[in-house]
Amino acid sequence: MSTSAITAAAVQCDPQVGLENKDKNLDRTLELITEAADQGANLVVLPELVNTGYSFDTREEAYAHAEELTGPTVQAWTELARSRGIHLVGGITELDGVRLFDTAVLIGPDGLIGHYRKTHLWHREKLVFTPGDLGFPVFETRIGRIGLLICWDIWFPEVARLLAVQGADVICSVNNWVWTPPPLFDDAGRCMAAYLTMTASHVNGVPIVAANRAGEERGAKFLGCSLITGTNGWPASEVAASEGDTIVYSGLDLMATRSAAIWNELNDLPRDRRTDLYDPLLGYRGGQAYPR
Amino acid sequence: MSTSAITAAAVQCDPQVGLENKDKNLDRTLELITEAADQGANLVVLPELVNTGYSFDTREEAYAHAEELTGPTVQAWTELARSRGIHLVGGITELDGVRLFDTAVLIGPDGLIGHYRKTHLWHREKLVFTPGDLGFPVFETRIGRIGLLICWDIWFPEVARLLAVQGADVICSVNNWVWTPPPLFDDAGRCMAAYLTMTASHVNGVPIVAANRAGEERGAKFLGCSLITGTNGWPASEVAASEGDTIVYSGLDLMATRSAAIWNELNDLPRDRRTDLYDPLLGYRGGQAYPR
């Protein structure tokens, strides 16, 4: 018996930086979320900084684009999540006082559930954003326990591990994958970030819904390749192309996730961890769940 | 200037369990090491338990196959490493008092440098072997710092991370990859273990020389796919087929390894690790280097 059937959707799209584009970026996410919900998705994951675009030239420009968690993007997403009865994850440029964060919000049918602030900052993000100060929280929801990570985070295997040992049933991965040491793609058309997603999923027995953006922005070329992995780490459906708006779908369920770790009568991955020799929770200061 | 040019060889072969095969298994490794040295390799990596085969039916059978570190396998490998002036890593069934270990030895032109005992045991290995008691040592050698891991270890990203933070220039991965949750291979013909090798290499900026066995033994089918990754994690040459004896070669050098971590003017992977939030060295009891 499956106790919680999720149909996940990883949305790949192409937001553009510039204040003149901000409303268009938001409207496009609403279109794509609606399309995913029409197809039966009840967990929709959008890329990183999807309401503002990515390539800020200056700190001032980032401030001009940023919104608080009570701002119009989260409001619009919340209304749509409520009306469609879905859960939704997306990346925003978050303003908190004078601090800017590269943030992922988790919204359910009853409103904002929580948020995660990107811990590992990539390239010029370091000139704009404050490193995340909320640890690696896992949120209880009606469809299961959801962990969040953002882009460069997955280069640090500790992140998915810390989400998994805290009981995440699914990890939502919110991305602007943009460059790795060449080659950018292998003969199968996959970028290294797709493999990082697959292996993080595999070694933790947790599905990952990874939405990346596509397109180009101020000379930066994004890599697409959005994908959803099963508990075995392999793509559960197609890996998106490097170009173009698209939505990748896959079914997930709690029974599969919570049973998946057992490999044979003598091995399961969590049991086999040698926490006598290493322990990612040692030194971990713990995540802070968003107050409801 | 490259200060230490290594030509690495990952040897894929098909040892068979059974006392009647033991001499043949050793002789075959000597042939393949010689072939690799003839091709210019100066770091040769052999599969796990390559002197005995893998699928012991009973503990008694494992005892009958096992050797001490002073036994004939290490002696023969040491003589060959000395005569060819090479470094050599291979897996043996190690006897130490009443304990059996799934061990990898590292041998240089001057003799046995060190050994590592498999920490994470797979399936029926748990009925035979004692879990490794030497931590995750990194050995200084004339060609650089070498870390060792064995098969199921790489399912635990902590292992490669702990080797990397201890300064490994290259990781030698000694394997009997045998089964994962299906599919065993993707359309590109690669098994998940090949991707685990690639991503562990990529996120640590350390090349991995991964030798797996092929063939079949008492109903167990091994997966081949031996490979050598560059500091960027991608296969530096071909990934071996799933079947057949073969040797995969690639050049490595210390300059590439020790420089590889810098991605751009703002990011390098070791610096970007958030050791304020997690630290694999916390709780790590440390490896024990082999006394020379």
Question: How do residues B120-152 score in pLDDT, each as one tens digit?
Answer: 999 999 999 999 999 899 999 999 999 999 999
Length of chain A measured in residues = 292
Is B158's CB within 8 Å of A280's CB? yes
Q: What is the structure's pLDDT at B147?
A: 97
Is cis: bond before B270, omega within 30 of 0?
no
Measured in Å, how far apart are chain B's first and last C-alpha atoms? Answer: 31
Question: How do residues A219-251 score in pLDDT, each as one tens digit?
Answer: 999 999 999 999 999 999 999 999 999 999 999
Residues B191-206 have a mean pLDDT of 96
| Closest-approach residue (CA) in chain B for A184 | B234
Q: What is the structure's pLDDT at A283?
A: 60
Q: What is the structure's pLDDT at B282?
A: 65
Q: How far apart are CA A136 and CA B128, in angstroms?
A: 39
Q: What is the structure's pLDDT at A1?
A: 47
Residue spans per domain, chain A = 5-253+266-272
Domain B5-254 CATH class label: alpha beta
Q: What is the structure's pLDDT at B37?
A: 98
Q: Name the active-site residue from A13, A22, A94, A118.
A: A118
- pLDDT of B7 > 60? The answer is yes
CB B13 within 8 A of CB B245: yes
Task: For residue B155, list chain A residues with Cβ-Cβ distance below 8 A.
Answer: 202-203, 269, 272
Q: Name the active-site residue from B13, B22, B125, B151.
A: B151
Is B123's CB within 8 Å of A274's CB? no
Which pLDDT band holds residue B292 (cuts at 50, 70, 90)? very low
CB A188 within 8 A of CB A242: no
How far, CA to CA in Å, does A251 sit from each of A256, A287, B25, B44, B184? 10, 28, 47, 45, 21
CB A229 within 8 A of CB A236: yes
Strands B5-12 and B227-228: unpaired
Give the CA diameter of chain B. Answer: 59
Pick from A180, A203, A234: CB nearest B186:
A234
Which pLDDT band holds residue B221 (cuts at 50, 70, 90)? very high
Residue A2 burial (C-beta neighbours within 10 Å; 0-12, 13-18, 19+): exposed
Q: Which letter does DSSP use for residue B216 in this model? A: E
- pLDDT of B179 > 80? The answer is yes
- The CATH number of the structural domain formed by A5-253+266-272 is 3.60.110.10
Question: How do residues B232-277 score in pLDDT, each as one tens digit?
Answer: 999 999 999 999 999 999 999 877 788 756 688 888 887 888 877 7
ipTM > 0.90 for the complex: yes
- pLDDT of B225 > 80? The answer is yes
Residue-by-residue pLDDT tens, chain A, 292 positions: 456 789 999 999 999 999 999 999 999 999 999 999 999 999 999 999 999 999 999 999 999 999 999 999 999 999 999 999 999 999 999 999 999 999 999 999 999 999 999 999 999 999 999 999 998 999 999 999 999 999 999 999 999 999 998 889 999 999 999 998 889 999 999 999 999 999 999 999 999 999 999 999 999 999 999 999 999 999 999 999 999 999 999 999 877 788 756 688 888 887 888 877 777 666 665 543 333 2
CA angle A235, B12, A200 (to 5 degrees): 25
Q: How far apart are CA B15 and CA B117, in angstroms?
A: 20
Is A283's CB within 8 Å of B277's CB? yes
Q: Which letter does DSSP use for residue A127 in this model? A: G
Average pLDDT, chain B: 92
Secondary structure (3-state) at A245: coil
Task: For residue B284, list chain A residues with Cβ-Cβ distance below 8 A.
Answer: 277-278
Q: What is the structure's pLDDT at B3?
A: 64
Pick from B182, B233, B280: CB nearest A278:
B280
